[in-house]
Amino acid sequence: MSANESVDDNRIELTIEYSDEVTEAFQATGEGWEDRINEVLKIWIREHNPSELKI
């Protein structure tokens, strides 16, 4: 399956890069760490407007 193909009805598989700090923190939580990143991002989206994030 290539990047951006649908994995199921609610998810899209893609390639993304995170900092070592983020990756190491979530990997340290064990199996399912990618799912936890997804959950954290969904919570953040409910509480913030991504277009207002200034980088």
Q: Give the containing element (helix H, strand E) for 44.
A: helix 33-47
4-50 tens-digit pLDDT? 555 567 889 999 999 999 999 999 999 999 999 999 999 999 999 99
11: phi then psi, degrees, rounded to nearest 5: -135, 150
Q: Residue 5's pLDDT is what?
A: 55
Report pTM: 0.74
Q: How many helices (H) and strands (E) does the chain have?
A: 2, 2
CA-based max dimension of the chain: 33
